[in-house]
């Protein structure tokens, strides 16, 4: 198989838009209106300094799924409908992100595979904080 397809090359790095986390963004993600109807409390360790400290956290922490959504945005920007129709993502959460931290989603093409109807692309994905620590790491794949 060729080492690249549709302009995508093995080893290619793709940088997403950096995001500076704020408590407001965290509350929009973790304390949406009406969540009480589903047995969920909008005052939680993602939205409240007091609750976070009661649980031994330094401050409210950014939800892992919110960090994953930044990887998704990067992959949508890079691959468009190919990602939306065939993308798969698996990640692990490795560190804590709090309000004030800036995070950078990244992806790197690590290879290609034959897939019925197209060429598959394998990627390593991550989110790093401004100190260079990887706080989310995983893999993604899609078919072009």
pLDDT tens for residues 19-59?
A: 999 988 888 888 777 777 888 778 888 888 998 999 998 89
CA distance 5 to 136: 27
Q: Give CATH superfamily name and number for 11-21+62-143.
A: Hotdog Thioesterase (3.10.129.10)
Q: Is the pLDDT of residue 74 over 90?
A: yes
Q: Is the pLDDT of residue 105 over 50?
A: yes
The model's pTM is 0.86
Average pLDDT, the chain: 90
pLDDT at residue 77, rounded to an integer = 95
Going from N- to C-terminal start, the domains of the chain cover: 11-21+62-143
């Amino acid at each position: 198989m060729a080492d690249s397809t549709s302009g995508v090359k093995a080893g290619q790095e793709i940088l997403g838009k950096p995001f500076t986390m704020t408590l407001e963004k965290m509350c929009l993600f973790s304390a949406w209106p009406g969540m009480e109807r589903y047995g969920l409390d909008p005052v939680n360790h993602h939205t409240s300094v007091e609750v976070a400290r009661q649980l031994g956290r330094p401050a409210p922490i950014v939800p892992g799924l919110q960090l994953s959504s930044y990887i998704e945005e990067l992959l949508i920007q890079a691959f468009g409908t190919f990602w939306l129709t065939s993308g798969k993502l698996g990640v692990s959460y490795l560190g804590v992100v709090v309000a004030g931290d800036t995070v950078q989603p990244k992806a790197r093409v690590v290879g290609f595979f034959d897939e019925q109807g197209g060429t598959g692309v394998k990627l390593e994905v991550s989110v790093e904080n401004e100190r260079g620590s990887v706080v989310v790491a995983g893999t993604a794949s899609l078919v072009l």
